[in-house]
Chains A and B, each alone.
Chain A
């Protein structure tokens, strides 16, 4: 496999401070180790609870980088909490920006797809997610953004068994560091 960034800069991860309590119970990616914290977040009200930047970041920070599998997207500074923004008019519409480690990174589509799938599986159905690379961070920025937000192409990609297998591997770490 072609190596796009042989020597990435590694950043220290932040400490996880809370568990994504809104994730669906059948989500594969939240393990039982979190269960002892569940009590803190019980909420008796039926109100739709807004989800904040940190909670969404919590879901994606520990996804593995496809090229450097032992490292997380957070460690490589591909994702960060401030890069998650909410539409002021529609709080259920979220834009997640990510920063490829190098402008020619051929794995960017895959990274964007892994973020999308992680959020698709974890966030309540009402959320509509747009995924974008940080402006100026990738040579094919426009093409990348277009592909990552084409629901038909995303749906077709997820019916590709080979791609899905690698995706599951990268997502399987997504709660272990939490």
Chain B
């Protein structure tokens, strides 16, 4: 499925976690919103409709977007160094849908803002920039934000921020080839608790294993994806690289991790393994991979196995793909969206026959 696209490169897509809205952002400085419905007669098919365009007012590329867990707020990160906070006005009595309004503009970064993410509870927002910093903002009512910390740990451009799915742990990835993890010291400030080295070039993208957050995946300019396992230990953070996924032959720009549909997990359990879900990845080679991860039942010596269950070449024709995101909503397992240099967004579904429909 494909939609009328942006006028310029599409950088990022984001599924609203509670409402049937999919958003994309672009170098054309806008955000486009699409709504979707599933029909009762064809439960496997989603019907998408273009909803609206938010002009944003950003003076440069809108690089990344993030929905709050409530699905009410959308945050935009722009190369103009600012972050926009957007909410939809209540619909009027005539039933007309409300416009998307800029509730707040967060200024602080000195140069391009590259990524933005809400924590799992929605109380914290993280952002990062070419200015080498990661900012943590506390979300207050009425679109009020307070800066809780400016982390200056990376020696270069910070490309991506990602919150742990359950705990208040933040991960950041950088042009300095490392990943850093941060914790909040209750009696003091946020601090860097771990640095993960191993990638041979820029780390572009991060994704936590969504169920327990025991694993972190990272995608890099070195064409690989690494899987890091959190080692047990009270009050400290330690990670170990336990797998390197090779398949892409250009930069990996985006990865997304989802739990597998029930039929997959059940089959794994029947085989004495634990399914760790699916990772979708894409990048400069224009190819999409979906990797299935399983763990042997020996928890003491965890051995993670990965296999490619789907490969789609030239997913956006000759163009690079910049973003790939699984739909997080229940009942939508196996559905993901991509955005590419062609300005388009596409939605895909991994079918049970392991055949992907467009």
| A156 contacts partner chain B, Cβ-Cβ < 8 Å | yes
* Chain B hits for A128, CB < 8 A: 250, 284, 320
- Cβ 8 A contact of A153, one of B9, B157, B284, B319: B157
B320 touches A151 (CB 8 A): yes
B284 touches A156 (CB 8 A): no
Question: Which residues between 129 and 178 of chain A lie within 8 Å of chain B, taking CB atoms?
Answer: 146, 149-153, 155-156, 159
- The complex places the Cα of A126 from the Cα of B221 at a distance, in Å, of 20
B79 touches A159 (CB 8 A): yes
Q: Given A146-B202, A156-B61, is A126 in contact with B320 using a C-beta cutoff of 8 Å?
A: no
* Chain B hits for A152, CB < 8 A: 63, 112, 114, 159
* Chain B hits for A155, CB < 8 A: 9, 27, 61, 79
Minimum C-beta distance from B74 to chain A (A)? 21
- The complex places the Cα of A152 from the Cα of B60 at a distance, in Å, of 13
B130 touches A156 (CB 8 A): yes
* Chain A hits for B112, CB < 8 A: 152, 156
Residue of B nearest to A159 (CB): B60
| B137 contacts partner chain A, Cβ-Cβ < 8 Å | no
Q: How many residues of B contact A (CB 8 A)?
A: 22
- Cβ 8 A contact of A146, one of B111, B114, B159, B201: B201
Residue of B nearest to A143 (CB): B156
A39-61, CB under 8 A of B: which get 1 and which 0?
Answer: 00000000000000000000000
- The complex places the Cα of A146 from the Cα of B174 at a distance, in Å, of 13
Q: How many residues of A contact B (CB 8 A)?
A: 13
| A67 contacts partner chain B, Cβ-Cβ < 8 Å | no
Q: Given A155-B9, A155-B61, A159-B61, is A150 in contact with B320 using a C-beta cutoff of 8 Å?
A: no
| B318 contacts partner chain A, Cβ-Cβ < 8 Å | yes
| A125 contacts partner chain B, Cβ-Cβ < 8 Å | yes
- The complex places the Cα of A149 from the Cα of B175 at a distance, in Å, of 12
* Chain B hits for A153, CB < 8 A: 130, 157
B319 touches A125 (CB 8 A): yes
- The complex places the Cα of A152 from the Cα of B111 at a distance, in Å, of 13
* Chain B hits for A92, CB < 8 A: 318
- The complex places the Cα of A102 from the Cα of B91 at a distance, in Å, of 64
* Chain B hits for A149, CB < 8 A: 221
- The complex places the Cα of A126 from the Cα of B319 at a distance, in Å, of 7
- The complex places the Cα of A156 from the Cα of B79 at a distance, in Å, of 7
Residue of A nearest to B59 (CB): A159
- The complex places the Cα of A148 from the Cα of B111 at a distance, in Å, of 18
Minimum C-beta distance from A46 to chain B (A)? 16
Q: Which among A92, A126, A153, A155 has the greatest number of chain B C-beta atoms within 10 A?
A: A155
Minimum C-beta distance from A94 to chain B (A)? 13
* Chain A hits for B320, CB < 8 A: 128, 151
User: Which residues of B approach A to under 8 Å, CB–CB?
Assistant: 9, 27, 60-61, 63, 79, 111-112, 114, 130, 157, 159, 175, 201-202, 221, 250-251, 284, 318-320
User: Which residues of A approach B to under 8 Å, CB–CB?
Assistant: 92, 125-126, 128, 146, 149-153, 155-156, 159
CB-CB nearest 4 A-B residue pairs: A126-B318, A159-B60, A156-B112, A156-B79
Q: Using A149-B221, A155-B61, A156-B130 as known contacts, list a sample of 18 further A-B pairs with CB atoms less than 8 Å apart, ordered by residue number in A.
A: A125-B318, A125-B319, A126-B318, A128-B250, A128-B320, A146-B175, A146-B201, A146-B202, A150-B175, A151-B320, A152-B112, A152-B114, A153-B130, A156-B60, A156-B79, A156-B111, A159-B61, A159-B79
Instruction: Pull 25 A–B residue pairs with CB atoms less than 8 Å apart, ordered by A.
Output: A92-B318, A125-B318, A125-B319, A126-B318, A128-B250, A128-B320, A146-B175, A146-B201, A146-B202, A150-B175, A150-B221, A151-B251, A151-B284, A151-B320, A152-B63, A152-B112, A152-B159, A153-B130, A155-B9, A155-B27, A155-B61, A155-B79, A156-B60, A156-B130, A159-B61
